[in-house]
Amino acid sequence: MAILEIEVEKHATARIGEEKKAGSESRLHSAAPLESNPRAIVQHNFNLAASALGLSEEQKLLLKTPFREVKVQVPVRMDDGSLRVFLGYRTQHNGARGPAKGGIRYFPNVDEEEIRSLAEAMTWKTALMNIPFGGSKGGVNCDPQQMSQGELERMTRKFVARIHHLLGPYRDIPAPDVNTNPQVMAWILDEYSSRHGYSPACVTGKPMELGGCPGRAQATGRGVMHILAEHMKACGRSLEGLRVVLQGFGNVGSNAASLLAEQGCEIFAVADIHGAIISKEGRALPIGDLVKHVKKTGSVVAFPATKPINNQDIFQLDCDVLIPAAMECVLHAGNAANVKAKVIAEAANLPTTPEADEIFRSRGITVLPDILTNAGGVVVSFFEWTQNLQQVYWDEEKVNAELYRYLRRAYRDVVDRAASEEITLRQSAYEIAIERVARAEMLRGV
């Protein structure tokens, strides 16, 4: 990692321009102020912590600059015979502590800035968890809801064909993220292995039959449950009876909801991209039935014994805990003052803008930061990778026990430092992470 290398391949077509325009419009639909963007969030969090650590300008520059970025053309023959050219991105932010690690998402908003920001957040997350990885992220600017399974498979395979030389078990290891799942990971494994030989450790979040890890699909949601439980325990409470509101009911949101409901939390309002619902009687929603409803209909909308509410109003409901589990920038200067939750558990990446963070701090609302709260997935991805490399496999009980051990340790590290320095949990988490990566960079020599 001696050289900082920025590699950008430029390919564009009129069709791609149209898709990007559609993507930026859909971010505006989230009603966030225009200055809200994932880059501003991660830069603010980094600058605050790095300055408190007393890092030099050179160190900051080194840690902020992505190691490598690519933007590739992904041509796909669609089912109707037409050719579409999508744009694919992969950013490897930092690899000082190990191979880069980060998900791949399929979404209309995907662009360089978003992927760069999420890659950087992954560097801090893996460092905070003290697992031997750096940070990366990737994605394709597309609308997977409008694509067939065959189109998604051809797009995934072409994307991997364009970037496989940058991936690998000791280089950069993708995983699931928004709108990608174990099947997509299986195609990545197949496409990579067909060029490099059988390589199960080249990707995590795979199906069990291909070397996946038991508990990986639930791991991010399980982590949200553990971090919230640790926090409530520290406040002298349990999860029992907590009134919870959730935005996002995909992999992370639905698994967090199921596990929290098992522990006695009352989740009474949920939103997804299609709409939001609230229990008519204000009682806890039966999460098992809601999961079945979403599997059948594709959305939480029209779930029995609920009424629809405005998607944005979900953030203003009176509750104990608010869990954003969808996209970035959803809590911002425009809605933070109306949030009534006492605790915000960030299951999504970068959901809170710096302005909202400041409002929450001044109002005494605790924010459990994303790089801690949603780190369960990458921890179990680390277990999956090590097992693939050794061809030794753990059972789910061991995976879950080890996951809890990693999360509890990280939670304690964050809380102890926050208490001793009188800083927020987020600043504490960033300081711990940045310190570890800065030290690794220094030891390796630049």
Q: At what angle are helices 396-421 and 425-444 packed, to 10 degrees?
A: 100
Distances (CA, A) of 391 to 169, 212, 219, 223, 388: 14, 11, 21, 25, 5
Taking the C-alpha atoms of residue 59 and residue 234, their distance in angstroms, rounded to an integer, is: 35
Catalytic residues: 137
Q: Which residue lies nearer to ligand NAD by CB, 41 or 325?
A: 325
Q: Among residues 222 and 438, whose Cβ is nearest to ligand NAD?
A: 222
Least distance (Å) from ligand NAD to the CB of residue 175?
7
The residue with tokens 């900082």 is 4
Residue 229 beta carbon to ligand NAD: minimum distance, rounded to whole angstroms: 18
Q: Give me the residue whose beta carbon is nearest to ligand NAD.
A: 250
Interacting residues with ligand NAD (CB under 6 A): 30, 176-179, 220, 247-253, 271-273, 311, 325-327, 347-349, 374, 377
Shortest distance (Å) from residue 278 CB to ligand NAD:
14
Please give the C-alpha separations between residue 12 and each of 87, 115, 164, in angstroms, as whole numbers. Answer: 8, 18, 20
Burial of 190 (0-12, 13-18, 19+ CB in 10 A): middle
Smallest distance from the beta carbon of 346 to ligand NAD, in angstroms? 9
Residues 6 or more apart in contact with residue 218 via CB below 8 angstroms: 255, 258, 259
Cα–Cα distances (Å) from 84 to 8, 31, 153, in that order, read 21, 30, 14
Between 223 and 423, CB nearer to ligand NAD: 223
* Cβ nearer to ligand NAD, comparing 99 with 108: 108
Alpha carbon 214 to its chain centroid, in Å, reads 20
* Paired tokens of 332: 């911002």
In the chain, count H helices and then E strands: 14, 12
Measured from the CB of residue 177, what is the shortest distance to ligand NAD in angstroms? 5
Distance CA 13, CA 190 (A): 29
Q: How far is the CB of 312 from ligand NAD (least distance, A)?
A: 9
Residue number, 137 or 154, with CB nearest to ligand NAD: 137
Q: Coil, helix or strand for 332?
A: coil
Q: Which is nearer to ligand NAD, 253 or 354 (CB)?
A: 253
